[in-house]
Chains A and B, each alone.
Chain A
Amino acid sequence: MKRALKIPRRALLGAGGAALALPLLRSLEVRAADPAWPLRFVVFNSPNGTVTKNWFPSVVRSEEDFDLGKIHEPLAPYKDRLLLVSGVNCHVGLSSKGNGGPHQRGIGALFTGQTLAKGEFVDGCGSQAGWARGPSLDQVIAEKIGGSSRFRSLELGVRCMDNDVQGRISYSGPEAPLPPTNDPALLYERLFQRTPAEPGSGASRKAAVLDTVFEQFGTLRPKLSTEDRDKLDAHTELVRDLERRLGIGADGEACLAPEQVVGLNPDSEVDMPKISRAHLDLLATAIACDLTRVASVQYSTGFNRIRYPWLDEGGEGHSLSHSGDSDTASWDILTGRARWHMAEIAYFMERLAAIPEGDGTALDHTVILWGTEVSQGNTHSLSSIPYLLIGDAGGVIKTGRYLTFEDASSVDYLATIAAAFDSTLADFGDIEFKEGLLTSLYA
């Protein structure tokens, strides 16, 4: 059974003239960019690289005429929406600039195009690094397309339990990672049980509470060192942002809250597939309700040791991915796991395709980017990173193709995607590794 959400479109806190004017202007801006429907952007990550020979197209007759590799078979119904690339290299991770081992460098740069700061996170073999030195693609795009949705972005984790550089893919700024929500029950609560403060006494009570809280922030501030003051100011700003967001409701014709999924253990390998589906259902609904327009979904952490007991009895992923090239049994298992991740994306696309928007569906207005932190586990290679792009960003990107590059920088690749949303984002990533946009991605 599904129930419709009855939440007022806008319940503004302390609605004065200026407060009313702002959301109006914002929605006009969005409308100017896209007359009908907002664009959405979702990044996916799963760990330990892929199986290169089954990832890239098996037969290539031309840029537009090729057979999908074994791993991409679950996405076959959507082949004309895919853009595959080879030769996009992680120059950031390959350079001597920055810190960390290959898994750390790879995941740090995967969606940020940045090197890693100095730090004390230790990878399996003793290399040390800190967080990435800049914001991730999803976050800079969210700044541009987030509009008036309640959540600027959602970060979701499927058994992504480590809070270190390998457990984060989204960054709001330099060395500012965003933690994911791992429990679908919690995600449900965040999305659907926090209804906007009701106008009237409820809203004014909360406003009174927060007034006192802001006073408390004010009295503490002068007593702090500069460094601590910056932290406190950032915290204050986040509370102000929360106050604003609590006034925004859910909206949309297809906005039906699903049943809440409870009782899944976010740290159980057995529950992983159920958690994935519950997350993706909720994310599709959040998009339908315009609660968010941007999300990241991370499956476990880089250099992980997870098993996939619902698929195979192959043991843990990291050692398996280190198998020698002739160990075909191991590579078959890894191929099966990589296919599973693609099938999850296909499922998500199916859900989006069921949300009618104008003449099309939400899928037509969504761009998905999948990536993994090394190309193949047994080489730890940071060359030819297997990125997969899905969706045309309102006709900007030309999909249904397989593009091969000689030696393109992944920073340019990411910036090209960012600029498809907003041309001012062309400067995305560490400038040291940029040569220019990969305009062949565009229509």
Chain B
Amino acid sequence: MQELLGTTEDPTVTFPEEPEVNGFNNNARSYAATPLLVEQLDLAASKLAASAQARAFSGLVSCEGKSERECASDFIARFLRRAFRRAPSSAELVSFETLYDRVASGSGHAEGLRSIIEAALLSPQFLYRVEAPLVSEPLAESRELPLGPYELASRLSYFLWGSMPDELLLARAEEGALSTPAGIEAEARRLLADPRAKDRASEFHSLWLKTNRLPSLARDGAPAEFGRDLQRSLLAFLDDVLWAGGTIRDLLTTEVVYATPAMGAFYGYATDPSAPFTRVVPPEPRPGLLGQPALLTRLSLANQSSPIQRGVFVRDALLCSPVANPPPSVNNNPPDPQPGLTTRELFRVHTEFAVCAECHRLIDPVGFGFEAYDQLGRYRTEQEGKPIDVNGSLDEVPDPAMAGSYTGLGELSERLTIGNTVLDCVTRKWLEFAIARAVSPADSCEVLASLDGGSSDTPLIEVLVAITKSRPFRMAPHSSETTP
């Protein structure tokens, strides 16, 4: 809205939440309009149009030296180009001019302009991203079609900003600058340098790591409202890694925590009480992402750590190598803590029964390496009077070079930096976020091909640029798709 109408109003805060699929909430297939959403869209369009009118359309319409009718035609052409992220067709111009004439003849110029805004905001061309391909028939031996320049411009801006293209990007699209990889790269780097890209990356991080669950999580022993601090801390860490040119190695092994004052008090770190965060190098082991207090807290139960959730996280979010679901007949309630038993002992049932062990041997031994951290990510060396055992094992992983037993989170994190498996998985997640559909290993492979396959030393920001130049990003499936 800021881009289109120059307002900071955000009428979407009251919209119903969108469904999450595979952790991302922009999957085109799962989206469907509901009565409530349509009602809310109408309310928002009415309000935004009325408030533009109340500001006398300043910054939107300039009628100097023109008749009202000319001025309206002008406005329609410019506004639709922005709202629809492409040049409007002549039929569309006529339709909106007719609307202006119908309203303005009875209620005046301003009401006419307001109606144009309202109708444009309710049009499917504004509400959906229409990805009409450049040509109507697939190229030989391909089920995909190259996207047109406007569609590509929208993909770029929604991927990197979460918003519509700005004037410059639309102009670049118009002059054909997006027809070459170099042209796309130049625009991608320009968009990445804008502050909006930071917010967008945080959105990705939130969805990938499900940090939005943190504020409402209840954990025994947590100070009030602690979840929000943890959430902000984790996002600050990820921000830092990405924008400082960090790599998978940095992500997994940097021993830094961005601690809020409340976190400082809780974990015993010296923090600056007047700063939102203090960059702390903790005295205890905190290897990278997996050692972050926020992530360890999220991957826990209310009253104990969860080796299961932690193991599943590594397999799903970092290795893209998930384990099958438990059969429906299984009682999968986690056992309550019992005096005298460590968490590892509590979950022994998983290895004692063959039917459980079938899958849990791939989960629990990954999660056991995290046992030095409790349900709030506090470091511990013993539990129930027994020393913590942090031996684990990583088995049946995509790259055999990673497999085998390990001791502690530090060694697990190091192990994950071998080869390009984690990079490939993270690329897949970014790509899914970028093109709003499920992606295949072949897709991410194609992205990484332009980075010579990539490794744990490839800067992550280069992955984002490589995505924008890749085939999956520049093509649409044969039957055109719409995305909200």
Contact = CB atoms under 8 A, between A and B. Distances in A.
A319 to B, nearest CB: 5
Query: Which among B20, B34, B107, B111 has the greatest number of chain A C-beta atoms within 10 A?
Result: B34
B16 interface: yes
B33 A238 contact: yes
A219 B91 contact: yes
Contact of B92 (A101, A208, A216, A267): A216
Interface string A368-398: 0000000000101000000000000000000
B19 A235 contact: no
A234 B33 contact: yes
A174 to B, nearest CB: 12
B336 A324 contact: yes
Contact of A216 (B123, B215, B325, B480): B123
Nearest to A316: B218
A1 interface: no
B186 interface: no
Interface centre among B43, B331, B333 (most CB of A within 10 A): B333
Given A179-B16, A267-B216, A127 B333 contact: no
Given A208-B99, A213-B123, A128 B302 contact: no
Contacts of A105: 328
Nearest to A159: B216
Contacts of B102: 204, 208
Interface string B352-393: 000000000000000000000000000000000000000000
Contact count band on B: 35 or more
A75 to B, nearest CB: 29
Interface stretch (B124-132, B170-178, B240-248, B260-268): B124-132
Contacts of B42: 239, 242
Contacts of B106: 201, 204-205
B480 A179 contact: no
Interface stretch (B52-60, B114-122, B453-461): B114-122
A413 B152 CA distance: 53
Interface string B292-321: 000000000111000010001000000000
Contacts of A205: 103, 106-107, 111, 115
Contacts of A10: none
Contacts of A215: 95
Which 9 residue pairs of A and B lie closest in terms of their CB atoms, listed nearest first? Answer: A179-B16, A225-B479, A316-B218, A125-B332, A216-B123, A163-B17, A235-B33, A238-B38, A212-B119
Given A209-B103, A239-B38, A323-B336, 16 more contacts: A120-B21, A125-B332, A125-B333, A127-B325, A163-B16, A163-B17, A163-B18, A179-B34, A205-B111, A212-B123, A215-B95, A231-B31, A239-B122, A306-B216, A322-B336, A380-B331
30 contacts: A100-B328, A121-B20, A125-B334, A162-B17, A178-B34, A179-B16, A179-B34, A179-B37, A190-B43, A201-B107, A204-B102, A205-B107, A205-B111, A212-B99, A215-B95, A216-B119, A220-B128, A223-B480, A228-B480, A235-B33, A235-B38, A235-B124, A238-B33, A238-B34, A306-B216, A306-B218, A316-B302, A319-B302, A322-B336, A324-B336
